[in-house]
Amino acid sequence: MTGKRAITVALAGNPNSGKTSLYNALTGARQSVGNWPGVTVEKKEGRFIYQGHEVTVVDLPGTYALDAYTLDERVAREYLVAEKPDAVVAVVDASNLERNLYLVAQLLELGATVVVALNMVDIAQSRGIEIDTAQLEKVLGVKVVTTVASMGVGIETLKRVVHDIQRAPPPPGLTISYGRDIEAGIEQLVGPIVAAWPGRSSQARWLALKLLEGDPEAVARLGDDEQAARVRETLAVVRARLERRLDLDIETAVVERRYGFLNGVAHECTRHRADLLRRISLTDRIDSVVTNRWVGIPIFLLLMWGTFQLVFRVGAPLSGLIERLFGWLGSVISSGLALVQAPAWLASLLVEGIIGGVGSVLVFVPNIVILFAVIALLEESGYMARAAFVMDRFMHLLGLHGKSFIPMIIGFGCNVPAIMATRTLESRKDRILTVLVNPLMSCSARLPIYILFAGVFFSRHRGLVVFSLYLLGMVLAVLVARLFKWVFFKSESAPLIMEMPPYHLPTLRSILVHMWERAWLFVRKAGTIIALTSVVIWLLASLPWGVEYASEASVIGRLGSLLAPLLRPAGFGYWWVAVSLAAGVVAKEIVIGTMGAIHGAGPGGLADVLRQSFTPLSAYAFMVMSLVYIPCVATIAAIRRETNWKWALLSVGYTLALGWLLAVVIFQVGSLVT
Amino acid sequence: MKPLSELGVGERGVVRELSGNPASKRRLLSMGFVPGAVVDVLRKAPMGDPVAFAVKDYCISLRKEEAAQVAVEPVEELSLASAPVGARLVVTGMRAGWGMRHRLRRLGVGPGSELVKLSGSGHGQVLVVLGGREEHLGQGIARRLLVRLAGEAG
């Protein structure tokens, strides 16, 4: 074959089936891997080359089915129907065959060329499950490749099979028989459907089934022309007849038959089926503690508390090391520049502007690395789903959803992926509410502000002070969610139907990959946006030419002086605080960076300036302001992408008003009391 | 028939039909809550809701609202507590957590072991003959020890 036609393969699979690992193993891409429902919510594309052919891999959202009820399912189905990829690799968790095959059956009914990647066979084996792949190939009429994606096992074979299948597509495989009555109905519908859409005759049976099942999207898309009216008429006749003849409603009957068939397949192809309770016994034992009526919530809170202790206790000495490194770098560069008699402004730009700004941000890399390591561990071990389980009643009372909890926790790391993660929420209302309050979850970029201020003003209780800020953010999130729910959505809530995957020990590699990604993202941000902002601020602080660096006479000083009176009621009406907060909208890390750049020092020197300017009370008010006011630009963009401009603007407006109000109230009330 | 939400922890039901909100009904069907499927109630969340179930060989949690959409036929299982006094019994299973399983194993009780119930149809302890010895078992254990009458087919 000489034609080097581009091959496109879609990757489909249940959440928790190891689809993301497989995607990584196939394409070598780097992205996060999770163990809670729906980590892969974006459309991701990767590539691999096999024998000179380029194969594009499209990662579909993880779904349990191809019904049109959730956003993820709609996205996946829309792609498969409209784009018709050359093949679909269906990732199947070997230890949970029957339910995973449900998606495979729907893919086959859609007319897709399916290759089954029977994944996590190692875990299945350890649970006493052995799958006869030859038999599975025979009954489903598809190629089956066993893989252990997390270890890279079976990936080359999979690439070969995908490559070969495109050259010689197999005959259309499986047709599930739905029994005499339903089959007669399908047959009756196929004629009018083919007449209405001649181009889609290969999907006619699938469409007939969907119409019979009452699939809202299929019904809505019927159209209004004469042919569609014929389809609709026939549908009404067939439905009426089936309602009479079946003892179940049509939808239930269809799904029941499908599962009936798959139950047979699973039994036929699985050997040594151990008792469910024995297989999940370890998970069961852990769950009996972790979701226990009395200790479940304390354990959850303890884990959250432990996370912060870890971030501080282990992070602090490492941060000290980085701080000293940057101090040393600054002095080496300034003495080096003095040696070659470089102009004073260059030394000022490098040492005060760039090293001061970037250095005071990079100091926090250890804290952030540890935080993300813990989050990755919680996600990949399977604990996140338990956290949602344990907290759902509470979240539900507060007007949110147990699944909202997952994006909220991720929000502690970074609000941007957290907001993306809200796509797992099925109802638009829950999604928008969770998105809107997410910026109140204190992301890791705000941590540097707390660490610095709490360290300077509350050194003995800094852990407690920082914890109180996180807690305040959560409380505010709840109150705001209630308020917005009451104002914008006065309807009932979305269902909670959530898989609880078995626990497994995450590999060190996947944790490190996750950690590295996040740390790298942070460092890159520090290296680019933050360095750039540092230079801009240095410029503003140095202009007009000849003023004392970052004095009130400089451009920046004048800008800050304009804004400062607004901050006076909150106890920190200094021009340089106003400037730092304004710059912080670019990225919250920049708040401290800007202060560092203005005062020309890393955190060490900055501490003295802070001590002269703030009291513990105004420092706390400032931390609250930093927590609440305006999400960073990246977060605003994410909110706009997941919702629309209206909600993005609302999030900017309410956070600014709320932050300012809280800071003022804290300072004023606190001043009265003390 | 009763709603799945009314089964207690450790109880089992067979799905008969689904009703209510079409979106969550469809979701429940796709997740395996189809007529004929066997559902076990595994545990409740600390505040009583949601509830974790085992269906189709995996674990899933539902709020009571969703569980109420699923009508099930409770599977009445004979437990040591409900078995007639004087009957020869064979243990078929244990609806017990890890701790209780461990204790039962130490007593030599596991699936397949035979025992005779001597007394205890009320609320007190149940006296059984087990491998030639007499043992007192608490009501808690007796209710969770599933049995069938010896001589009946398994």
Q: What residue has token string 């969610």?
A: A481
Per-residue pLDDT of A386-402, as tens digits, reads 988 998 888 888 778 87
pLDDT tens per residue across span A131-164: 999 999 999 999 999 999 888 899 999 999 998 8
Which residues have CB under 8 Å from A407's CB, separation 6+?
A418, A419, A421, A422, A424, A425, A434, A438
Query: Residue A417 above 80 pLDDT?
Result: no
pLDDT digits 0-9 by tens, B49-104: 899 999 988 999 999 999 999 999 998 777 888 888 888 888 877 776 677 777 88
**Cβ pair A10, A25 in contact under 8 A:** no
Q: What average pLDDT does the structure give for chain A?
A: 83
Q: Rounded CA gap, A363 and A449, in Å?
A: 12
Q: What pLDDT digit, counting tens, does each position of A17-68 carry?
A: 888 889 888 887 544 433 333 333 456 778 888 888 888 898 888 899 998 7
Q: For position A526, what pLDDT does the model report?
A: 63
Listed range (A175-184, A539-548, A569-578) with the worst mean pLDDT: A539-548
Across A241-260, average pLDDT? 92
At residue B153, the pLDDT reads 47
Nearest by CB to residue A393, choosing from B17, B30, B45, is B45
Residue range A403-430: average pLDDT?
74
Mean pLDDT of A625-642: 83
Question: Which range is least confidently modeled, A30-34, A122-126, A233-237, A550-554?
Answer: A30-34
- A-chain CB neighbours of B56 within 8 Å are 96, 98-99, 259
pLDDT band at A477 (very low <50, low <70, confident <90, very high): very high
Name which of A99, A285, A498 is nearest B32 (Cβ-Cβ).
A99
pLDDT above 90 (res A87): yes
Residues of B with Cβ-Cβ distance to A292 under 8 angstroms: 46
CB spacing of A284 vs B98 below 8 angstroms:
yes
Which residue has better confidence, A361 or A16?
A: A16
Query: Which residues on B lie below 8 Å from A396 (Cβ)?
Result: 49, 63
Q: Across the interface, do A252 and B18 touch by the CB < 8 Å criterion?
A: yes
Q: Residue A418 above 80 pLDDT?
A: no
pLDDT tens readout for residues A161-185:
998 887 777 666 678 899 899 999 9
Q: Verify whether the Cβ–Cβ distance A500 to B61 is below 8 Å.
A: yes
- Angle (CA) A274 A279 A282, round 5°: 160
Bigger pLDDT: B120 vs B4: B4
Reported as half-sphere exposure (CB side, CA atoms, 13 A), residue A203 has a value of: 19
Which amino acid would we find at residue A48? F
Q: Which chain A residues are within 8 Å of B48, Cβ to Cβ?
A: 393
**Spatial distance between the Cα atoms of A444 and A636, rounded to a whole number of angstroms:** 16
Closest CA to A366 of A401, A314, A295, A325: A314
Inter-chain CB proximity A496 and B37 less than 8 Å: no
The whole-angstrom separation of Cα A109 and Cα A107 is 5
A-chain CB neighbours of B35 within 8 Å are 248, 252, 256
Q: Which residues contact A89 (CB under 8 A, 6 or more apart)?
A: A9, A10, A11, A12, A22, A57, A114, A115, A116, A117, A158, A162
pLDDT score at A9: 93
For residue A2, is pLDDT > 50?
A: no
Contact B54 A392 (CB under 8 A): no
Q: What gap in Å lies between CA A647 and CA A656, rounded to an integer?
A: 14
- Record the tokens describing residue A67, joined without a space: 């019904």
Distance from CA of B25 to the nearest CA of A (A): 9
First to last CA, chain B: 25
Top-confidence residue, A342 or A623: A623
Task: Pick A496's closest partner by Cβ from B26, B59, B62.
Answer: B62
Q: Which of B9, B19, B43 to mutate to test the interface with A (most CBs of A within 10 A)?
A: B43
Chain B contact set for A252 (CB, 8 A): 17-18, 29, 34-35
- Asked whether residue A213 carries a pLDDT value surpassing 70, the answer given is yes
Asked whether the beta carbons of residue A291 and residue B45 sit closer than 8 angstroms, the reply is yes
Query: Lowest-confidence range among A6-10, A613-617, A643-647?
Result: A643-647
Q: How many CB atoms lie within 10 A of CB A225?
A: 10
Asked if residue A528 has pLDDT above 80, the reply is: no
pLDDT of residue A32: 42
Closest Cβ opposite residue A497 in set B54, B56, B62:
B62
Whether ipTM tops 0.90, in short, is no
| pLDDT bracket for residue A342 (50, 70, 90) | confident
CB contact under 8 A, B50 and A64: no
Contact list in A for residue B18 (CB cut-off 8 A) is 252
Q: Is A259 on the interface with B (CB under 8 A)?
A: yes
pLDDT score at A274: 53
Q: Is the dihedral of CA A619, A620, A621, A623 positive or negative?
A: positive
CB contact under 8 A, B27 and A293: no
- Give the residue on A whose Cα is nearest the Cα of B35: A256
Give residue ranges of B with CB < 8 Å to any A CB.
17-18, 21-32, 34-37, 40, 42-50, 52, 54, 56-63, 65-66, 97-98
pLDDT confidence tier of residue B149, bands split at 50, 70 and 90? confident
So what's the pLDDT on residue B31?
A: 95
In this structure, what are the phi and psi dihedrals at residue A149, rounded to the nearest 5 degrees?
A: -60, -35
Q: Give the amino acid at B115.
A: L
State residue A173's pLDDT score: 65
* CA distance to partner chain A, nearest, from residue B105 (Å): 14
Task: Answer whether B59 sits within 8 Å of A280, measured CB to CB.
Answer: yes
Contact A30, A517 (CB under 8 A): yes
Task: Give the model's confidence band at A233: pLDDT under 50 very low, under 70 low, under 90 confident, else very high.
Answer: very high
Q: Is the pLDDT assigned to residue A194 strictly greater than 80?
A: yes
CB-nearest partner of A256 from B25, B35, B56: B35
Exposure class string for A541-561: b at 16+ Cβ within 10 A, else e: bbeeeeeebbeeebebbeebb
Residue A601: strand, helix, or coil: coil
Distance CA A287, CA B66 (A): 22
Quote the strand ranges of chain B, DSSP E.
2-3, 12-18, 38-44, 51-55, 58-62, 70-74, 88-94, 114-119, 126-130, 133-137, 145-149
CA–CA gap between residue A191 and residue A193 (Å, rounded): 5
Does A291 reach chain B within 8 Å, measured CB to CB? Answer: yes
pLDDT of residue A627: 95
pLDDT above 90 (res A88)? yes
pLDDT for A43 equals 66
Give the residue from chain A lying closest to B51, CA to CA. Answer: A389
CATH of domain A7-167: 3.40.50.300
Helices (H), A246-280: 250-269, 276-279
- Helix (H) / strand (E) element for A130: namely strand A130-131
Q: Which domains does chain B have, with CATH numbers?
A: 2-74 (2.30.30.90), 88-149 (2.30.30.90)
Q: What is the pLDDT of residue A37?
A: 35
The residue type found at A122 is D
Mutate to test the interface with A, among B24, B29, B101 (most CBs of A within 10 A): B29
**Distance of residue B19 Cα from the nearest chain A Cα, in angstroms:** 10
Is the CB of A294 less than 8 angstroms away from the CB of B60?
no
Q: How far is A381 from chain B (nearest CA, A)?
A: 15
Is the predicted pLDDT of residue A666 greater than 80, yes or no? yes
Residue type (1 letter), A208:
A
Smallest Cβ–Cβ distance between B27 and the set A96, A385, A495 belongs to A495
Residue A484 has pLDDT above 60, yes or no: yes
In the stretch 367-426 of chain A, residues with CB closer than 8 A to chain B read: 385, 389-390, 392-394, 396, 402, 426
Are β-strands A53-59 and A130-131 bridged in parallel, bridged antiparallel, or unpaired? unpaired
Judged against a pLDDT cut of 60, whether residue A674 lies above it is answered with yes
- pLDDT score of A30: 47
Q: Which long-range contacts (CB under 8 A, 24 or more apart) does A581-584 make?
A: A581/A625, A581/A626, A581/A629, A583/A533, A583/A537, A584/A626, A584/A632
Closest-CA residue to A396 (of B147, B48, B57, B106):
B48
Confidence of residue A189 (pLDDT cuts 50, 70, 90): very high
| B79 vs B15: which has the higher pLDDT | B15
- Contact between B27 and A497 using a beta-carbon 8 Å cutoff: yes
